[in-house]
Structure 1
């Protein structure tokens, strides 16, 4: 049986740590390894940061949504959603080193980092309507140690 949670928080930089911790706490019931937990936290961190910085231009009046699902086969599905600017060219945005921010401030590695830690990353976006990043992580079967 699936377990899930959904929450919303203000698009403020300090809430990125809250989103990481919430996702980690939610999947803790599966007794993931430290490495798996770190990978989940990093993926969530990157997706939330992208929403705050690129989706909303750091507008703290906007809201970011985090949804986590645990499926019966130890598969974790994480969704980060915003109703911000959207991405005109998702494939271009997924290229390493591409950024819409100031190059001296942004590395353009957000999607690359997400893809390196997750088994699958899907991005759906519509300009002016927002972006949803879906990340899937299959946890190993084990005792977590």
Structure 2
């Protein structure tokens, strides 16, 4: 299925850019006239996905994060957050609530939060090559 409209942007994995990413995605999603709750859900999920890249993918280094946001038929919004960081050894384990590689200061709830706010989430990763998180949300009629 081909997207109706798409935007793509790349930025360094600095924590100050997390707010930019969530705001940019929300601004793009606004064309579908989502509810405030839907917009808040999208912003929260994007925030979690970008924060995962910053904290886990690149750890103590700076790398690039790419966000692609697309609209498809029937108001389906797809958001892809991708990095070329360290990758995830075991995606199923990483998606379990409370699992973290970020030390004691991390709750290990990032993927659980994303799953609770989006209609669908898919994670693909290769150790040493990076991770791609796809978030899907159906929005109200345009």
Question: With structure 1 as the length reference, what TM-score do the two structures score?
Answer: 0.94
CA contact (8 A) 1:12 1:59 kept: no
Aligned to 2:70: 69
Gap runs ≥5 in structure 2: none
CA RMSD of aligned residues (A): 1.1
> Cα distance, 1:72 vs. partner?
2.3
Query: In 1, distance between residues paired with 2:129 and 2:99?
Result: 21
> Cα distance, 1:58 vs. partner?
4.2
Gap runs ≥5 in structure 1: none
Query: In 2, distance between residues paired with 1:58 and 1:67?
Result: 24
- The structure carrying a bigger helix percent of its residues is 2
CA contact (8 A) 1:12 1:58 kept: no
CA contact (8 A) 1:76 1:137 kept: yes
Aligned to 1:90: 91
Aligned to 2:114: 114
Aligned to 1:43: 45
Q: Aligned pair count?
A: 140
Aligned to 2:140: 140
Partner-residue secondary structure (3-state), 1:14: helix
CA contact (8 A) 1:11 1:58 kept: no
Aligned to 1:128: 128
Partner-residue secondary structure (3-state), 1:73: helix
Q: Which runs of 4+ in 1 moved over 4 A?
A: none
CA contact (8 A) 2:32 2:141 kept: no
Cα 1:65–1:15 shift into 2, 3 Å: same
Q: Deviations over 1:57-93 (max 9, x none)?
A: 1423x11000000112110000000000000000000
